[in-house]
């Protein structure tokens, strides 16, 4: 495996670069519009520029990690608003604004619904997204109103007399988004919104614990197969070929957890075969699940360290009449070493496997990944 695949840029670095490029584009656009004195376009660019910091603020305040998919969707809406303001200002921009806000509201409500935090229906989700969009659209219209009154500036083709029309077109966009969202989830239960919700939960295992431990979620997770953020282990300590307890099996489980901690986090399912078949932890022959769980916890403390337990959340879950262990790992703030036979090993995720780093590669990775800490 080449160094490019092992030392790929982590998600945070990718996000930082993308956002910096977008901000640079907006700043250059502002300078260009200053020459033409198109103050309405300049105002839109300044508003969009400030909004690029909103996801970071949300992460800091709420202590959650947003997946890259959310960031890309968010940036796409922001950039399109700039282009539409320049090319198709007025009606099209207002409809697009309403639709974008409607999509955001729809995703928020869907996450709550999927997590069983609220008991509602698909139609109520659509109504919420419509109201969410119209509410924020009204705030935008009030902002435009004050610009026109106090600074004599009109953003877009609408002046102070057309504020009501702006809100009407925002409502049209919101209705389009909410109706489309309702039809989408009502007719297709295995939709991409589930993937979006799953991505958020993988990065925040403590945020939506009820849904992430549901049988439906586990089944969908297994269907995806092993990848960079998901791995299966058939047992915790038993070698299925020899039918005997094997320390190598325990080491393999601890290795996977360590690699998730050292990279971008992930989920380990113990009791699931490589092909996705649910085997269950019964093969480990513990007297009960309490003893199994106690043994697993002791392994983590002895081989990874109790100081890393806050980054690891584990649950024993019944799936298809068999018990599996689900281990959700967050990305650690500092490097994590696996203690094995008086040695310390360092692992990261590369594709669907755990890779051991040594020497200069280890030093290089640690300096890049954890230098801010």
SS (H, E, C) the chain: CCHHHHCCCCHHHHHHHHHHHHHHHHHHHHHHHHHHCCHHHHHHHHHHHHHCCHHHHHHHHHCCCCCHHHHHHHHHHHHHHHHHHHHCCCHHHHHHHHHHHHHHHHHHHHHHHHCCCCCCCHHHHHHHHHHHHHHHHHHHHHHHHHHHHHHCCCCCCCCHHHHHHHHHHHHHHHHHHHHHHHHHHHHCCCCHHHHHHHHHHHHCCCCCHHHHCCHHHHHHHHHHCCECCEEEECCCCEECCCCEECHHHHHHHHHHHHHHHHCCCEEEEECECCCCCECCHHHHCCCCHHHHHHHHHHHHHHHCCHHHHHHEEEEEEEECCEEEEEEEECCCCCCCCEEECCEEEEEEEECCEEEEECHHHHHHHHHHHHCCC
| Three-state DSSP state, 286 | coil
**pLDDT > 90 fraction of the chain, expressed in percent and rounded:** 24
* Tokens read off for 106: 């729809």
Confidence bin at 248 (pLDDT 50/70/90): very high
Mean pLDDT, to the nearest integer, of 242-248? 92
Q: Give 215-370's CATH code, choosing from 3.10.20.90, 3.40.50.10240, 3.30.950.30, 3.30.1650.10.
A: 3.30.950.30
363 contacts: CB under 8 Å, gap ≥ 6: none
Mean pLDDT, to the nearest integer, of 5-34? 70
pLDDT tens digits along 275-295: 999 999 998 989 888 899 899
Confidence bin at 115 (pLDDT 50/70/90): very low
| pLDDT at residue 128 is higher than 90 | no
Mean pLDDT, to the nearest integer, of 62-79? 65
pLDDT at 288 (0 to 100): 86
Does an H or E element contain 107, and which? helix 91-114
More confident residue, 259 or 15: 259
What is the pTM (predicted TM-score) of this model?
Answer: 0.49
Mean pLDDT, to the nearest integer, of 49-56? 77
- Report the Cα 348 to chain-centroid distance in Å: 20
Angstrom distance (rounded) from CA 296 to CA 286: 11
Strands (E), the chain: 230-233, 238-239, 244-245, 266-270, 312-319, 322-329, 338-340, 343-350, 353-357
Angstrom distance (rounded) from CA 97 to CA 104: 11
Half-sphere exposure of 182 toward its Cβ, with a 13 Å CA cutoff?
Answer: 18
| pLDDT at residue 27 is higher than 70 | yes
pLDDT at 234 (0 to 100): 94
Angstrom distance (rounded) from CA 174 to CA 105: 10
pLDDT at 4 (0 to 100): 40
Confidence bin at 26 (pLDDT 50/70/90): confident
Angstrom distance (rounded) from CA 298 to CA 269: 18
pLDDT tens digits along 319-335: 878 899 999 998 888 89
More confident residue, 190 or 148: 148
pLDDT at 354 (0 to 100): 93
Mean pLDDT, to the nearest integer, of 96-101? 70
pLDDT tens digits along 220-241: 888 888 999 899 999 999 999 9
Domain boundaries, the chain: 3-198, 215-370
pLDDT tens digits along 185-214: 666 544 555 555 555 555 555 555 556 677
Residue with tokens 């996000």: 15
């Amino acid at each position: 495996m080449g160094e490019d695949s092992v030392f790929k840029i982590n998600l945070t670095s990718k996000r930082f670069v993308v956002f910096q490029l977008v901000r640079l584009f907006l700043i250059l656009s502002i300078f260009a519009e200053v020459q033409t004195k198109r103050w309405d376009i300049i105002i839109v660019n300044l508003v969009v520029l400030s909004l690029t910091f909103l996801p970071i603020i949300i992460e800091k305040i709420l202590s959650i990690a947003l997946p890259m998919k959310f960031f890309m969707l968010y940036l796409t809406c922001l950039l399109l608003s700039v282009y539409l303001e320049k090319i198709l200002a007025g009606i099209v921009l207002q409809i697009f604004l309403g639709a974008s806000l409607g999509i955001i509201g729809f995703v928020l409500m869907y996450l709550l619904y999927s997590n069983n935090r609220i008991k509602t229906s698909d139609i109520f989700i659509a109504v919420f997204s419509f109201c969410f969009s119209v509410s924020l659209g009204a705030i935008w219209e009030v902002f435009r109103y004050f610009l026109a009154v106090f600074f004599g500036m009109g953003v877009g083709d609408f002046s102070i007399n057309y504020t009501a029309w702006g809100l009407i077109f925002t409502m049209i966009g919101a209705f389009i988004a909410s109706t489309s969202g309702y039809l989408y989830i009502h007719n297709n239960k295995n939709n991409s919104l589930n993937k979006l919700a799953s991505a958020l939960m993988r990065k925040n295992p403590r945020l939506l614990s009820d849904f992430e431990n549901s049988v439906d979620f586990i089944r969908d997770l297994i269907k995806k197969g092993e990848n960079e953020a998901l791995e299966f282990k058939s047992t915790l300590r038993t070698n299925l070929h020899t039918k005997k307890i094997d320390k190598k099996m325990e080491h393999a489980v601890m290795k996977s957890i360590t690699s998730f901690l050292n990279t971008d986090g992930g989920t380990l399912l113990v009791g699931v075969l490589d092909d996705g078949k649910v085997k269950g932890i019964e093969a480990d022959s513990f007297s009960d699940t309490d003893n199994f769980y106690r043994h697993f916890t002791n392994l983590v403390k002895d081989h990874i360290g109790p100081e890393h337990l806050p980054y690891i959340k584990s649950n024993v879950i019944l799936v298809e009449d068999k018990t599996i262990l689900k281990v959700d790992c967050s990305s650690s703030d500092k490097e994590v070493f696996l203690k094995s036979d008086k040695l310390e090993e360092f692992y990261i995720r590369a594709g669907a496997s755990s890779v051991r780093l040594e020497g200069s590669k280890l030093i290089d990775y640690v300096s890049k990944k954890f230098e801010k800490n």
